[in-house]
A and B are shown apart, each in its own frame.
Chain A
Amino acid sequence: MKERMFFDVGVGKSEIKESYDVVIVGGGPAGLTAAIYTRQSGLSALVVEKNLEGGYMNLTELVENYPGFTSIRGEELGSKMVEHALHFGAELVTDNVEKIQVEGKDKFVHLSSGKTVRARVVIVATGSTPRKLGVPGEEQFRARGVSYCATCDGHFFKDGHVIVVGGGNSAFDESLFLAKMVRKITVVHILEKPTADARLREKVFANEKIEYRPLTELVRIEGDEKVEKVVLKDLKENKEYTMDVDGVFIFVGMNPNSELLKDLADLDEWGYIITDENMETKTPGIFAVGDVRSKGLRQIITAAADGAIAASIAARKYFET
């Protein structure tokens, strides 16, 4: 801990008003960028974030593909975006949006604290949450050895043996991060070839602590009080076997947080929100941006781009007379 001693003073949270030009739901890169562009158009903006401003960036150790930064800690990039939005006068509040209601041209955003905020335009930037594997033991041992976030929980497995499930970018990226603290990592993937990028594949295969087992399925998680072992299945031989582990990290994709708009927008077959090229949903004045939107690439840069487009188009379409 000593080498990384830092002091976070927290951002200035504002008392919120009854109405804003634009209310943004979610404070990740998509929402924060939308706030910056809204303010630059001279409109008032409120960002409602239930957890921590910065969104998923807070849980990403290193970001190495955001232009301008060869390598930056996710949390740092996040706090820079927060500062940027505050600098231009966006307001931030910690609260959870429970419901969005449309009455003519007005939208009413209902918060868990009981407050309701009125807005002309609502931009939904709620991102996505890690997908569950759906195997026995997963729920039971959640927070007792089963985790979906290496940055959050990795250090509880210091010198231990963990299993990572998944073969994509997230699984490989997080494995490399875990390798800094745990003793041994076994990565299992149901396919033969990993889907992670070449650069990550090379790094993972070169890491002595990481063993990659293709064509292997995690069948079950077992233990008493906490995770003790997993049952794996060799898909080639069609044989099950057990392995002693201290922790299970699951990175098998994400689920969109799109419930808020299930009646106000069309969703694609995976539940992502469908918009037009201006990020607007089928309900006029309601936009969706970032990872929650149906699109081809989900990254910080594309989230930011979505936010910029939605806010600028909304300003032009709904506020210029």
Chain B
Amino acid sequence: MALLDKEVSKQVKNMLGDMERTVKVLFFKSDDESECEYCSTIEQLLAELSELNDKISVEIIDVDEEEQKMEEYGIEMIPALVLLTEDGKDLGVRFYGIPAGHEFSTFLQDILVFSKGAIPQLSEENLKKLQGVEKPVNIKVFVTVTCPYCPRAVFTAHQLAMANDRITASMVEANEFMELSAKFGVSSVPHVVINDEHFFVGAYPEKDFVEEVLKVAKG
């Protein structure tokens, strides 16, 4: 059975009609169900998406066979999705876990932004501030797929990653990564962790999100 029903497929096709350039999606998976409960579902989702628009090109990486690729992209757990620009540039945009539910909208929006040259949709002022960041910054946004406020947080984090090569931003689906969520004391989402040391909870407006990142990057 298809994951995306007729109505949703139509909407997606419509939305992706605006795509300009090709976007590459790297999918790190394992066929071992005990390792990765949702890998087969994600694989199907990606197949259905690339059916809807031929500018989405999917590369599947079986981590049991190509472990070195994980290292190359700094992937530590699966399932993981990495977006690349047409010419294969990695801007640090990642999804750990299935981008279903409300996160599907984030995934689609990211794809659209990438296809239009991955230009971060941030204000001039914030862009300038972020470009001054010299220390590597890693942002994890813990979400659940039923959380309506989470896409904003993930999308903003991903924009930050696009703004500076030193910034990496990941969506982490809390239910699929229970141990990691427990480690960071996640009990409310979106829960945003910066460089594993600083956290805040809630979908902060762009300006405040940037300030939180700067606190860590400068400290």
Interface residues of A (CB under 8 A from B): 1, 4-10, 12, 50-52, 54, 58-59, 75, 94, 96, 112-114, 142-145, 147, 151-153, 155-157, 225-226, 247
Contact = CB atoms under 8 A, between A and B. Distances in A.
Contacts, number: 88
Interface string B139-153: 000001111110110
Given A5-B3, A9-B11, A52-B148, A155 B175 contact: yes
A12 B125 CA distance: 26
A69 B173 CA distance: 32
A52 B101 CA distance: 14
B210 interface: no
A53 B185 CA distance: 29
Interface string B95-115: 000001110111011000000
A286 to B, nearest CB: 24
Contacts of A8: 101-102, 104-105, 151
Contact of A9 (B12, B147, B201, B206): B12
A152 B189 contact: yes
B103 to A, nearest CB: 8
Interface of A is mostly: loop
B101 A7 contact: yes
A52 B189 CA distance: 14
A143 B145 CA distance: 18
B187 A52 contact: no
B206 to A, nearest CB: 8
B147 A10 contact: no
A59 B150 CA distance: 13
Contact of B187 (A75, A96, A247): A247
Contacts of A9: 8, 11-12, 15, 104-105, 108
Contacts of B100: 1, 5-7
Given A10-B109, A58-B148, A75-B148, A152 B188 contact: yes
Interface in B144-190: 144-149, 151-152, 174-175, 181, 185-189
A145 B191 CA distance: 13
Contacts of A7: 3-4, 8, 100-101, 104
Contacts of A75: 148
B48 to A, nearest CB: 10
Contacts of B144: 155
B188 A156 contact: yes
A152 B3 CA distance: 24
Nearest to A54: B148
Contacts of A52: 148-149, 152
B149 to A, nearest CB: 6
Nearest to A53: B148
A144 B187 contact: yes
A5 B147 CA distance: 13
Contacts of A51: 148-149, 152, 203
Nearest to B16: A9
Nearest to B122: A113
Which 3 A-B pairs rank lowest in CB-CB distance, beginning with the nearest? A10-B105, A143-B201, A143-B188
Given A9-B15, A114-B123, 6 more contacts: A1-B145, A5-B100, A6-B100, A52-B149, A114-B125, A147-B188
14 contacts: A1-B100, A7-B4, A7-B101, A9-B108, A10-B106, A50-B205, A94-B152, A112-B205, A112-B207, A114-B123, A142-B201, A143-B187, A153-B188, A153-B189
A153 B100 CA distance: 18
Contacts of B102: 8
A156 B148 contact: no
Contact of A6 (B101, B125, B186): B101
B123 A225 contact: no
Nearest to B175: A1
Contacts of B191: 143
Interface string B113-147: 00000000001010000000000000000001111
A75 B11 CA distance: 19
Contacts of B106: 10
A8 B101 CA distance: 5
A113 B185 contact: no
A143 B41 CA distance: 31
A50 B153 CA distance: 12
Contacts of A50: 205
Contacts of A12: 15
Nearest to B188: A143
A197 to B, nearest CB: 26
B67 to A, nearest CB: 28
Contacts of A143: 187-188, 191, 201
